[in-house]
Amino acid sequence: MNEARDIALIDELRALPAETSWVEFKGNNTDPEMIGKRCSALSNSACIEGRDCAYMLWGIEDGSHAVVGTTFNPDSQKVNGQVLQLWLANRLQPSTAFSFRIANPSQGRVVLLEIPAATGAPVAFNNIAYIRIGSATPKLTDYPERYRQLIECMQPYRWEQGIARKYATGDEVLALLDYSQYFRLTKQPLPDNRAGIFDRLEADRLIVRDVGDRWNITNLGAILFATRLGNFDASLARKAVRFVAYSGNNRAAGVTHRHDSQNGYAAGFEGLASYLNDLLPKNEHIGAALREAHPLFPELAIRELVANALIHQDMTVTGAGPQIELFGDRIEITNPGRPLVKPDRMIDLPPRSRNEVLASLMRRMGMCEEQGSGLDKVIASVEVFQLPPPLFRADGNSTQVVLYGPRSFAEMTPEERVRACYFHAVLKFLSGDKMKNASLCARLGIDPKNASQATGVINNTLTAGLIRIADPDHPRAGYVPHWA
């Protein structure tokens, strides 16, 4: 941790008019039981006050906030033969990533204890949760109104709100983030001064204020607008999108193209989409006078599926990021994390995202469809191109979508025909209609004279339990999804 930042933080905390419910000053009182109780109380109080962290400082006089120095050494202090920090860690529940740091401002030595605010549950010491009220540290259960307030304030950890770079200068922020792309994509005029730029970036939580006129760049800001993800921690850099194209239909074939994106998702999305479109295979059709190239895969489907992979990935899975693989007969788009809804219900249920702020901002920038409509359009475009149905699957700790190249009805597998029938029934239902034999013939490219083939697919889909007759009393009324 940067000592200059810690000194600036100490100066900012000393400038407070008095101790608060999330800041406490100490001289040389190092009683471990006191420290444990304060950790619990300060963490819970910081949550109520909307602070990210709480602090205890040794070497600061309580009344005047003058630096008087301290002899306290948290690294050497032991409790019953156990190192203080390990002793504390074993007695705080849930586990809390507190940290002791030593700073040496000119006036004397200061020990800083930083305690993250409570998130998933109240922080307890020896199974008792405490709260800070004035200078007192009572049990949280003795103040039910504070307990209710704490529960209301606690939110689960949001990766987007984490910090990718601490204590950055204004110049570093402008160099690390492609702020011009942010203003262009959000359709805002670029301010003519730095203060205006920082105000807008802060409003969208791409940066947050640190101490000493410095800034923290959030994970959200970095993953969307990094000029180069490699400038951040390796765990963030590995979230970059990777593209690999093979010369055949499996990974044993030679690699023809490889592209590891260096930009943040928003800053590099248009370039990635253009790169993919240039590589995707195309058919040539001769028109009245000119040859026209038509893509084998719907561009809208590719764009939406890539955007979904970025939005819905589990950012807490380390060492992995979104991957796009192009084979001779298909495209596979994979992202870390199992889906939050069942794969066969992705098309109709409202999407659930682990990264709601990321998703909202990407939709605002027009990088994906409005919530709940994206996959509908993917399936609809696949039907227009008369492609085999996409395959949505959860594989280990990842989610994968496979988009297949053109194949005739005769070349589709029985499973693909059933899946196409189910998706077609879903689209019809979502548009207020019902699937019928004739509409399925059109979807699968079956000649109406061979409608019995569509009937066979419908019967197999009924047997699989994916669709049902809309009105048992009128079997010709059509079919709807099993959940309708």
The token pair that represents 404 in the structure block: 């297949």
User: Tell me, what's the pLDDT at 290?
Assistant: 46
Residue 414 CA from chain centroid, whole number: 36
Q: What is the DSSP string of 302-371?
A: HHHHHHHHHHHS-TTSTT---EEEE-SSEEEEEEES--SS-GGGTTTSPP--S-HHHHHHHHHTTSSPST
Backbone angles phi, psi at 325, to 5 degrees: -125, 125
* pLDDT score recorded for residue 293: 54
Task: Identify which of 209, 330, 204 has the alpha carbon closest to the alpha carbon of residue 266.
Answer: 204
Instruction: Give pLDDT, residue 292.
Output: 52
Handedness of CA 441, 341, 219, 196 (dihedral sign): positive
Query: Cα(242)–Cα(269) distance, rounded to whole angstroms?
Result: 12
pLDDT of residue 254: 92
- What pLDDT does 370 receive? 59
pLDDT at 283: 61
| pLDDT tens by residue, 42-79 | 999 999 999 999 999 999 998 899 999 999 999 999 99
- Report pLDDT for 391: 94
- 300, 260 contact by CB (below 8 A): no
Structure tokens at 482: 């099993």
CA 465 – CA 473 distance, rounded (Å): 19
pLDDT of residue 318: 83
pLDDT of residue 284: 52
Q: What pTM was estimated for this model as a whole?
A: 0.83
Helix (H, G, I), strand (E, B) or coil at 249: coil
**Which residue positions in the chain have pLDDT lower than 50?**
285-291
pLDDT tens across 343-401, in order?
Answer: 777 777 766 677 889 989 998 998 876 555 668 889 999 999 889 999 999 888 899 99
Closest CA to 469 of 454, 482, 456: 482
